[in-house]
Amino acid sequence: MASSLLHPLRSRRNGGTLHNIESTIEEQIETLRDDIAALTKIAGKQSRKSGDRLRYQAAASYDDLLSRSEDLIHELQEGYLRGAHEVRNTVRRHPVATIGAAAAFGLVLALLARR
């Protein structure tokens, strides 16, 4: 298509019209190259900013998750210690009932194991 546009102009060649058109096209191409380079720089800056923002959000989420995990572990440890303390106190207050419950539990396990 470009040859069909330039063909009539080449045949005329009066006063360098073809030369003017070629230089205009070259200038437009150079302008487009400069615009593309500028857009590439802007896109690079934007992606860098987005990456920094995502990195900051990920770090904040990680710190929050770590803090919650530590709190949960602390609560679980406290619950375990409370349960162990209650079991010890129950065994001390009711030793005969504890032995009977352990024997009944062992008997049930033995009966289940036979089947």
Please give the torsion angle defined by the CA atoms of residues 17, 23, 25 and 28, in that order, rounded to the nearest 10 degrees: -140
Read off the pLDDT band of 61 (50, 70, 90).
Answer: very high
What is the 8-class DSSP label of residue 12?
H
pLDDT at 11 over 90: no
| Per-residue model confidence (pLDDT) at position 104 | 93
The mean of the pLDDT values for the chain is 85
Single-letter residue type at 98: T
At 6, is the pLDDT very low, low, confident or very high (cuts 50, 70, 90)?
very low
Helices 95-114 and 17-93 pack at an angle, to 10 degrees, of 120
Q: How confident is the model at residue 80 (pLDDT cuts 50, 70, 90)?
A: very high
Question: Residue 1 — pLDDT band, cuts 50, 70, 90?
Answer: very low
CB 18 within 8 A of CB 10: yes
pLDDT-based confidence at 96, cuts 50/70/90?
Answer: very high
Assigned token pair, 62? 């990680």
Q: What pTM was estimated for this model as a whole?
A: 0.46
Tokens in use for 52? 């920094």
Closest CA to 21 of 34, 10, 33, 32: 10
pLDDT at 112: 92
End-to-end CA distance of the chain: 90
